[in-house]
Amino acid sequence: MFESLSDKFSGVIGDLGKRGTLTEADVAEAMREVRLAMLEADVALPVVKDFVNKVKERSVGAEVLESISPGQAVAKIVNDALIDALGGAGAVPLNLNAAPPVPILMVGLQGSGKTTTSGKIALRLATRERKKVLLASLDTQRPAAQLQLQQLAERAKVASLPIVAGQTPVEIASRAMDTARREGYDVVILDTAGRLSIDEALMDEVRQIRDVTHPAETLLVVDAMTGQDAVNTAKLFNEAVGVSGVVMTRMDGDARGGAALSMRAITGAPIKLTGSGEKLDALEEFHPERVAGRILG
């Protein structure tokens, strides 16, 4: 992830950082290369334009160009602009501030990693925050989905809602919340059905589940490898059902990074967590400043 982008950024910005003097033309030339590198990495065009303009605006001016180490000053401006694009400094934590049982609604397209991520979040909350977690699959579309989540729950050593054949997703959601209330669970993770593409039936189903459970978090799971499609998916989900956070999976792959850099500006939703493998502990908080550091090398 970010490899090619990082090669180019660290080349161009690293060179600037070493130089003792800089002109406005030097900055413009560097930004031309940065612009190309970002477009190649599949960053959305408005995000690229905004980034380049911001860096140019902040860089040209006596304080920066005539400072003792202008190259380093520009490198710092680029670093800050990267952090902005990635969503601002600091990880955005999961919001569990509601009366228990706190519902977390997991949404996304089929194959994005939604079910695996539900298991990962369950494991994390159970082990790191000592929460009593109930996992429930509301996926009545794929026959194996409910079993898959049950097996993940066993691996994570958390409870899963017993499977009852013939219930609708909304009925399962209500049963999950009732069970959690009765049995004193802190968190209920509701894994909804995915589809191959976004359709009105999917959004309707999610809206109905949302309206009976009132989730504290609606987490959209997207695959980093799908680039701008991940961003478009997030935009559509956010408009249709409201998304409080994004989990970006397959950060362990060779995705070019455009989705991570475009997500916040295009959708408004913060990336809260990232997945970096198939194992249940391969889940990390998303720290924009660390990612910016990785990109700048």
| Residues of the binding site | 108-115, 191-195, 249-252
Q: Minimum distance between the CB of residue 247 and ligand GDP, rounded to whole angstroms?
A: 9
Per CB under 6 A, does 110 bind ligand GDP? yes
Part of the chain binding ligand GDP (CB under 6 A), chosen from 63-71, 78-86, 202-210, 246-254: 246-254
Q: Pick from 6, 112, 218, 267: which binds ligand GDP (CB under 6 A)?
A: 112
- Pick the closer one to ligand GDP by CB: 239 or 278: 278
Q: What is the dihedral of CA 61, 62, 64, 65, to 10 degrees?
A: 100
Part of the chain binding ligand GDP (CB under 6 A), chosen from 10-18, 35-43, 96-104, 111-119: 111-119
Place of tokens 């409870």: 159
Q: Pick from 8, 58, 114, 124: which binds ligand GDP (CB under 6 A)?
A: 114
Whole-number CA gyration radius for the chain: 22
Residues shown for the chain = 297
Per CB under 6 A, does 194 bind ligand GDP? yes
Q: Pick from 103, 108, 245, 258: which binds ligand GDP (CB under 6 A)?
A: 108
- Pick the closer one to ligand GDP by CB: 17 or 169: 169
Rounded Cα gap, residues 177 and 201, in angstroms: 23
Q: Pick from 275, 288, 291, 292: which binds ligand GDP (CB under 6 A)?
A: 275
Q: Pick from 69, 140, 276, 294: which binds ligand GDP (CB under 6 A)?
A: 276
Structure tokens at 21: 């003097």
Phi, psi for 44 (deg, rounded to 5): -60, 140
Contact indicator for 160, 131 with CB cutoff of 8 Å: no
Per CB under 6 A, does 252 bind ligand GDP? yes
Part of the chain binding ligand GDP (CB under 6 A), chosen from 33-41, 62-70, 170-178, 248-256: 248-256
Contact indicator for 223, 108 with CB cutoff of 8 Å: no
Binding residues for GTP: 108-115, 191-195, 249-252
Part of the chain binding ligand GDP (CB under 6 A), chosen from 22-30, 83-91, 153-161, 244-252: 244-252
Q: Minimum distance between the CB of residue 15 and ligand GDP, rounded to whole angstroms?
A: 34
- Pick the closer one to ligand GDP by CB: 58 or 250: 250
Three-state secondary structure readout of 243-274: CCEEEEECCCCCCCCHHHHHHHHHHCCCEEEE
Per CB under 6 A, does 226 bind ligand GDP? no
Q: How many CB atoms lie within 10 A of CB 22?
A: 21
> Sheet holding 245-249: strands in order across?
159-160, 133-137, 187-191, 102-108, 217-223, 245-249, 271-275, 283-285
Q: Pick from 249, 258, 261, 265: which binds ligand GDP (CB under 6 A)?
A: 249
Per CB under 6 A, does 58 bind ligand GDP? no
Part of the chain binding ligand GDP (CB under 6 A), chosen from 42-50, 64-72, 108-116, 155-163: 108-116
CA distances (Å), origin 280, targets 116, 186, 211, 230: 7, 20, 29, 22
Q: Where are the beta strands (DSSP E) in 81-198?
A: 102-108, 133-137, 159-160, 187-191
CA 281 to chain centre: 17
List contacts with ligand GDP (CB under 6 A). 108, 110-116, 194, 249-250, 252, 275-278, 282
